[in-house]
């Protein structure tokens, strides 16, 4: 039976199908006239849907032609792709028309579809309207004009950054070629938004208010040049002054030439990679409301939403500039945005509220169970992994780290050998548990508070028991609640997910594992926080097991393993990975239960000899693995294999080669001095080593 996945694989994710059935020289991401009907306006677009991983078609003028390649063929052939029998026929039609050979069992290679992409360096040759000659004279901003901008919070530095100038005079021609001149005055000031080949005049108290000089091109976008590479939220406003006012209050914003223009989908698509939220913030008059509603529908596939301001929509009170002019602060607007998120995520947050631990109403006592905890720590914007078997003390180790994030300023608490930066701004500390019962989690958090010397739970600490949610709901709840708490508490200090294996159906599913780790890594970057992931796997040497473990080890900046020491009353913390340097050079830290203290306490580091012994043991195992596949290897190849196997940098791999040569784990080949062979090291001595 034909499968759509096979067709997508052999047609460049559906692109070749669109190329076959849509004639013409269209470009990916560029609007074109739909050849399938009498289209009068270029409003059809072929784009890559990053969510689904396939190419799709969007026709803003006729929604009947919006969908994937199977939907399009169904429309052309009078078939409904939602009906199983019709969908099978659609697959057969594509297989036959494109000569894929899948039905016959003799697949045919289809070369990648040759479709021109929309690139800025070679614009389409279209007749251009002649550009009217224009001249303008700038002047230093008079004090009265600076006062005008200041009422919106806009400073001289910001005006300079966005290339806004004060104009003394502007000269141009009418459509009939008749020259005209505008001059500024105290009563009628004149400003210019300067571009490379154009200027847009703004006359706030005059008619006309806006004039245009030069060549604006197709996609005028004010503020795009000033955007950061990454950000949390981007607002699309109705005008340049709104962009400036938002920037003055610490928000990112852009605008197009007016609220009624069609916002380019390709630009929005690119911006979705840079911002978590893209929000329409248009005027509150009739035109602004109608336009924002229309644009929200057109850009729905990119997750664009609209935010309505609490303004009446009059001439004096309609936009974000007027909002700030009226005395509202950044915090006031931020509260509006938090309310917007509350509404956006209402269903999830209501569900999540029932999962939050209520310290005023503790759950009923139940049988205690052994649970594995998580220990997250690292640098901002990165993942931190902790792994180990049951009963090794992971819960207590994690609790010590969380305690260090919420302890009172100046308090000296035992964090089991880890130094933790004080959370002086009281940013959110989020603990999501996917394995333990409410009762056990309540107990663990209560013990954590005692370690932190906190008589009551600080407001910034949020602990959630997610055992009652499905695996799909858990990740969604984490993503959306992080977003809300990030704005509510002015950032997130630390996120603990105990354990991440319960976010996927199977830890050995490569696609699922990659998707979850990628999403967590993305969130760590967006919110500039450290996400601690607890993985309940027993590691094999310096490697984690399963696809989920491998992907975590690849993306995380640090991986720690907690194991039982040779002394059974103690646990030892070992580094499996550190981004800078060698994990085998990291001290082996010990902690154990202290009856008198009523908690686990730090017991110091293992002797240097133990660390060297571990390093030797692990590298012997690696050498066995490498030379089990080949008898000799060059220095360069050995260095590359060490980097790949151990996930280390080149300089660390070279230091390992030196160490192995010193211990005679490897040696130069007598027959070929450019190669290494297994050394005369007494491997039997390590035969009992894991």
Which has more pLDDT, 114 or 158? 158
- Higher pLDDT: 183 or 603? It is 183
Q: Which of 131-135, 251-255, 358-362, 395-399 has the lowest mean pLDDT?
A: 358-362
Contact 325, 475 (CB under 8 A): no
Q: Peptide bond preceding 499: is omega within 30 degrees of 0, i.e. cis?
A: yes
Q: Which residue has the tokens 């052939």?
A: 77
Is it the case that residue 191 has pLDDT exceeding 90?
Answer: yes
Q: Which of 115, 116, 99, 117 is nearest to 7 (CA)?
A: 99
Q: Number of C-alpha atoms within 13 angstroms, CB side, residue 501? A: 19
For residue 67, what are the β-bridge partners? 57
Categorize the per-residue pLDDT at 108 as very low, low, confident or very high, splitting at 50, 70 and 90. Answer: low
Half-sphere exposure of 377 toward its Cβ, with a 13 Å CA cutoff?
A: 23
Q: Is 363 exposed, middle or buried (0-12, 13-18, 19+ CB in 10 A)?
A: middle
Tokens of 447: 């013990």
- Kindly state the average pLDDT of the residues 316-335: 94
pLDDT of residue 415: 84
pLDDT per residue as tens digits for the range 528-567: 888 999 987 766 665 676 788 888 888 888 888 888 888 8
Q: How high is the pLDDT of residue 129? A: 57
Considering the chain, what is the average pLDDT of its residues?
84
Q: Which of 540, 543, 541, 563 is nearest to 553 (CA)?
A: 543
Per-residue model confidence (pLDDT) at position 543: 65
Q: Between the ranges 75-84, 233-242, 577-586, where is the mean pLDDT highest?
A: 233-242
**Model confidence at 78: pLDDT above 70:** yes
Of the chain, the percentage scoring pLDDT greater than 70 comes to: 90
Q: Which of 38-42, 323-327, 489-493 is the least confident region?
A: 38-42
Spatial distance between the Cα atoms of 7 and 70, rounded to a whole number of angstroms: 10
**Helix 510-526 vs helix 471-488: crossing angle, to nearest 10:** 10
Q: How confident is the model at residue 582 (pLDDT cuts 50, 70, 90)?
A: low
**511-550: buried (b, 16+ CB within 10 Å) or exposed (e) per residue?**
ebbbebbeebbebbebbebbbbbbbbbebebbebebbbbb
pLDDT at 318 over 60: yes
Contact (CB, 8 A) for 482 and 518: no
Helix (H, G, I), strand (E, B) or coil at 679: coil
Q: What is the pLDDT of residue 127?
A: 45
Determine the pLDDT at residue 187. 93
* DSSP-derived secondary structure for 88-134: HHHHHHHHHHTT--TTTT-----PPP---B--TTS----PPPPPPP-
Residues making up the chain, counted from first to last: 690
pLDDT of residue 476: 92
pLDDT band at 208 (very low <50, low <70, confident <90, very high): confident
- Mean pLDDT value across residues 490-507: 90
Residues 6+ apart with CB under 8 A from 359: 442, 456, 457
Mean pLDDT of all residues in 79-86: 84
Alpha-carbon gap, residue 663 to 616, rounded angstroms: 8
Q: Which of 13-17, 582-586, 683-687 has the lowest mean pLDDT?
A: 683-687
Q: Which of 380, 341, 378, 488 is nearest to 426 (CA)?
A: 488
Task: Count CB-CB contacts under 10 A for residue 109.
Answer: 7
> Among residues of the chain, what percentage have pLDDT more than 90?
32
Residue of higher predicted confidence among 324 and 122: 324
Q: Above 60 in pLDDT, residue 121?
A: no
Hey, what are 646's tokens?
A: 């151990």
* Residue 572 pLDDT greater than 70, yes or no: yes
Residue 255 has pLDDT above 90, yes or no: yes
Span 468-481, pLDDT tens digits: 898 889 999 999 99
Name the nearest CA neighbour of 324 among 197, 102, 152, 503: 152
Q: Say which residues have a Cβ less than 8 Å from residue 340's Cβ, sequence separation at least 6.
A: 279, 305, 307
373 pLDDT higher than 60: no
pLDDT at 685: 47
pLDDT at 274 over 70: yes
**Residues 163 and 247: beta-carbon distance below 8 Å:** no
Instruction: Return the higher-pLDDT residue of 273 and 363.
Output: 273
Question: Is the pLDDT at 204 greater than 50, yes or no?
Answer: yes
Q: Pick the more confident residue, 72 or 250.
A: 250
CA 516 – CA 484 distance, rounded (Å): 20
The set of long-range contacts for 408-412, using a CB threshold of 8 Å and a minimum separation of 24, is 408/452, 408/453, 408/454, 411/452, 411/453
Adjacent-strand bridge partners of 170: 136, 182
Q: Which residues contact 447 (CB under 8 A, 6 or more apart)?
A: 399, 599
Cβ atoms of 341 and 487 closer than 8 Å: yes
Q: Two tokens at 88?
A: 């099978």
Task: Please spell the DSSP secondary structure of 525-539, one letter per residue.
Answer: HHTT-EEEEEE----
Q: How far apart are CA 51 and CA 46, in angstroms?
A: 15
Q: How far apart are CA 379 and CA 556, in angstroms?
A: 10
CB 132, CB 213: distance < 8 Å: yes
pLDDT tens digits along 415-456: 888 788 888 899 999 999 998 888 889 988 998 999 999 989
pLDDT average, residue stretch 557-584 = 81
Closest CA to 37 of 49, 47, 22: 22
pLDDT at 587 over 80: no
- As given in the structure block, the two tokens for residue 203 are 């006359």
Rg (CA), the chain: 31
Query: What is the structure's pLDDT at 549?
Result: 85
CA distance 488 to 109: 54
User: At a CB cut-off of 8 Å and minimum separation 6, what does 226 contact?
Assistant: 161, 162, 247
> What digits encode the pLDDT tens for the residues 378-412?
788 888 888 888 878 887 888 888 998 898 888 88
């Amino acid at each position: 039976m034909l499968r759509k996945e096979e067709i997508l694989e052999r047609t460049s994710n559906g692109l070749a199908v669109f190329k076959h059935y849509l004639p013409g020289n269209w470009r990916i991401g560029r609007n074109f006239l739909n050849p399938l009907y009498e289209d009068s306006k270029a409003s059809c677009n072929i784009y890559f849907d990053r969510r689904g991983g396939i190419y799709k078609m969007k026709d803003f003028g006729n929604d009947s032609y919006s969908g994937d390649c199977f939907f399009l063929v169904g429309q052309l052939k009078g078939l409904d792709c939602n009906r199983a029998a019709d969908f099978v026929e659609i697959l057969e039609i594509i297989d036959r028309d494109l000569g894929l050979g899948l039905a016959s069992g003799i697949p045919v290679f289809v070369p990648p579809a040759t479709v021109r992409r929309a690139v800025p360096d070679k614009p389409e040759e279209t007749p251009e309207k002649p550009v009217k000659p224009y001249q303008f004279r700038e002047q230093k901003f008079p004090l009265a004009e600076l006062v005008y901008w200041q009422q919106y919070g806009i400073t001289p530095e910001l005006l300079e950054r966005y290339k806004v100038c004060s104009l003394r005079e502007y000269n141009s021609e009418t459509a009939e070629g008749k020259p005209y001149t505008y001059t500024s005055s105290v009563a009628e000031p004149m400003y210019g938004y300067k571009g490379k080949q154009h200027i847009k005049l703004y006359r706030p108290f005059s008619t006309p208010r806006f004039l245009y000089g030069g060549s604006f091109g197709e996609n005028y976008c004010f503020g795009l040049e000033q955007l950061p590479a990454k950000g949390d939220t981007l607002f699309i406003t109705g005008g340049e002054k709104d962009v400036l006012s938002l920037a003055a209050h610490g928000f990112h914003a852009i605008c197009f030439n007016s609220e009624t223009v069609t916002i380019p989908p390709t630009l929005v698509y690119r911006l979705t990679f840079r911002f978590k939220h893209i929000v329409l913030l248009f005027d509150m008059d009739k035109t602004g409301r109608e336009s924002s509603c229309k644009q929200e529908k057109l850009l729905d596939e990119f997750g664009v939403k609209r935010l309505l301001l609490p303004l009446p929509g009059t001439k004096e009170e309609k936009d974000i500039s007027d909002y700030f002019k009226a005395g509202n602060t950044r915090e006031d607007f931020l509260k509006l945005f938090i309310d917007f998120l509350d509404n956006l995520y209402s269903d999830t947050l209501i569900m999540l509220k029932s999962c939050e631990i209520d310290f005023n109403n503790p759950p009923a006592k139940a049988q205690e169970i052994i649970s594995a905890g998580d220990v997250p720590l690292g640098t901002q914007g990165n993942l931190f992994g902790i792994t180990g078997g049951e009963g090794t003390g992971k819960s207590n180790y994690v609790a010590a780290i969380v305690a260090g994030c919420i302890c009172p300023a100046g308090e000296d608490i035992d964090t089991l050998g880890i130094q933790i930066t004080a959370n002086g701004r009281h940013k959110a500390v989020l603990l999501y548990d996917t394995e333990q019962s409410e009762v056990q989690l309540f107990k663990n958090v209560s013990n954590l508070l005692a370690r932190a010397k906190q008589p009551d739970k600080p407001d910034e600490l949020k602990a959630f028991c997610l055992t009652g949610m499905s695996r799909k709901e858990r990740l969604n709840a984490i993503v959306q609640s992080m977003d809300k708490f990030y704005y509510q508490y002015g950032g997130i200090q630390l996120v603990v997910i105990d354990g991440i294996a319960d976010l996927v159906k199977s830890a050995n599913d490569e696609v699922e594992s990659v998707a979850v780790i990628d999403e967590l890594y993305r969130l760590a970057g967006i919110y500039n926080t450290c996400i601690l992931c607890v993985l309940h796997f027993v590691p094999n040497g310096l490697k984690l097991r399963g696809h989920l473990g491998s992907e975590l080890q690849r993306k995380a900046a640090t991986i720690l393993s907690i194991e039982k020491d040779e002394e059974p009353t103690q646990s030892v913390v070992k580094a499996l990975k550190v981004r800078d340097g060698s994990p085998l050079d990291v001290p082996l830290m010990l902690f154990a239960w202290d009856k008198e203290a009523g908690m686990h306490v730090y017991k110091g580091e293992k002797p240097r000899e133990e660390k060297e012994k571990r390093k030797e043991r692990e590298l012997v195992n690696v050498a066995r693995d490498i030379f089990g596949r080949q008898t000799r290897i060059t220095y360069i190849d050995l260095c590359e294999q060490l980097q790949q196997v151990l996930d280390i940098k080149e300089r660390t791999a070279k230091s390992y080669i030196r160490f192995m040569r010193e211990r005679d784990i490897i040696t130069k080949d007598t027959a070929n001095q450019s190669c290494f062979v297994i050394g005369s090291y007494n491997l039997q001595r390590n035969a009992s080593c894991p």
